[in-house]
Amino acid sequence: MAKFRKSASNVHESFSDVALLMLATFIFLLVTILITTRIAEENELPKLRKQVEMLQEQLQLAESDKERLKKNFKRVLITDPDTQLETILESANVGRKDFEMFVKGLKEIPGKDLHLVVDASGSMHGVSMFLVPILRLIVIRADKHLSAITWFSDSRAKTYQGTMGEMFDNLMSEAPFVGNRETIGRAFRVAAREAPPPGAYLLVGDEPSDDTIYYSEIPSPVFTLPMGRSDPDTDKEYRTLAQKTGGRMLHLTFR
């Protein structure tokens, strides 16, 4: 009987030792995780603060652009075409000669159809309300038929067809104007798949593409319209796209 009690006691002590060992291991792992997490937070915190500051600065710039464009919006919505043209060119900081050369290039392209490809990412939010008047004016002055509109943002793209009014209404009501990826290459693939090849495409955006643009797969000349503050990378990409496809580039800098 004494021998049995001694054996049971040894088993009890063994279990106690195992339990203490498991508890010590758990505490060690917990402390290790806490230390690792603290180090990671200390390393990541400056990066996060910098990103937040950059986003706040971009938001302030976008709000500034939006307020400035609101002031010009009523002046643009006028009926006389010549007065409307001068008003838009003044607001967009573009010379009439440059604008007329751009439109002349569109006029000379074979075919009547024009397909708009519009950047609908977040960076275009500030000028979104200004798009319809100037795009409508370009289509009318170039004497083209607006056959389709494709918007793109964050690897998404959607094409509309119908009347000019219907397509512009769809663009302004359904395009997100949020996101931070300019997927121009995908936009042209969707545009070519969803609508017949036009006389020309008109690309409107404000940043270079985040994906690959395959120039040889674009079936028509591309006229490019970089908008907003001048950016060397954007200008270079939009100019190259226009040159390689037989189009032209016109830069609009709203003020």
Range of the domain at 12: 1-71
Q: What is the mean pLDDT of residues 41-56?
A: 69
23, 55, 71: which is the final residue of a domain? Answer: 71
Whichever domain contains 133, its CATH number is 3.40.50.410
18, 47, 71: which is the final residue of a domain? Answer: 71
Task: Evaluate if residue 75 carries a pLDDT over 70.
Answer: no
Q: Please tell me whether residues 172 and 106 are part of one structural domain.
A: yes
pLDDT in tens, 35-44: 766 666 666 6
Task: Evaluate if residue 224 carries a pLDDT over 50.
Answer: yes
The pLDDT, as a whole number, for residue 94 is 67
Q: Please tell me whether residues 97 and 169 are part of one structural domain.
A: yes
The verdict on residue 97 lying in a domain is yes
Give Dmax (Cα) for the chain.
114
Task: Evaluate if residue 54 carries a pLDDT over 50.
Answer: yes
The verdict on residue 111 lying in a domain is yes
Q: Please tell me whether residues 172 and 114 are part of one structural domain.
A: yes
The verdict on residue 251 lying in a domain is no
Number of domains present in the structure of the chain: 2
Both structure tokens of 214: 């395959």
The pLDDT, as a whole number, for residue 99 is 82
The verdict on residue 196 lying in a domain is yes
Q: Please tell me whether residues 62 and 88 are part of one structural domain.
A: no
Confidence of residue 133 (pLDDT cuts 50, 70, 90): confident
Task: Look at 144 and 79; give whichever has higher pLDDT.
Answer: 144
Q: Please tell me whether residues 134 and 204 are part of one structural domain.
A: yes
Confidence of residue 228 (pLDDT cuts 50, 70, 90): confident
The verdict on residue 253 lying in a domain is no
The verdict on residue 224 lying in a domain is yes
Q: Please tell me whether residues 150 and 235 are part of one structural domain.
A: yes
- Average model confidence (pLDDT) across the chain: 80
Name the percent of the chain lying above pLDDT 70.
Answer: 67
pLDDT in tens, 57-68: 766 666 665 555
Q: Give the global pTM.
A: 0.67
Task: Evaluate if residue 11 carries a pLDDT over 80.
Answer: no
Q: What is the mean pLDDT of residues 64-87?
A: 55
Q: Please tell me whether residues 25 and 138 are part of one structural domain.
A: no
The pLDDT, as a whole number, for residue 42 is 64
Task: Look at 184 and 73; give whichever has higher pLDDT.
Answer: 184
d(CA 129, CA 125): 8
Q: Please tell me whether residues 87 and 61 are part of one structural domain.
A: no
Q: Pairing state of beta strands 113-119 and 145-153?
A: parallel
CA distances in angstroms from 219 to 1, 131, 189, 198, 214, listed in the order given: 97, 25, 10, 8, 11
Q: Please tell me whether residues 23 and 62 are part of one structural domain.
A: yes
CA atoms within 13 A of residue 49's CA, in its CB half-sphere: 6
The verdict on residue 47 lying in a domain is yes
Q: Please tell me whether residues 56 and 146 are part of one structural domain.
A: no
The pLDDT, as a whole number, for residue 4 is 44
The contacts of residue 175 (CB under 8 Å, 6+ apart) are: 118, 120, 128, 151, 153, 158
Q: Are 143 and 109 in contact (CB under 8 A)?
A: no
d(CA 198, CA 223): 12
Q: Please tell me whether residues 26 and 129 are part of one structural domain.
A: no
d(CA 31, CA 36): 9
Q: Please tell me whether residues 81 and 119 are part of one structural domain.
A: yes
The verdict on residue 254 lying in a domain is no
Q: Reduce the DSSP state of residue 224 to 3 states and report it.
A: strand
20, 43, 71: which is the final residue of a domain? Answer: 71
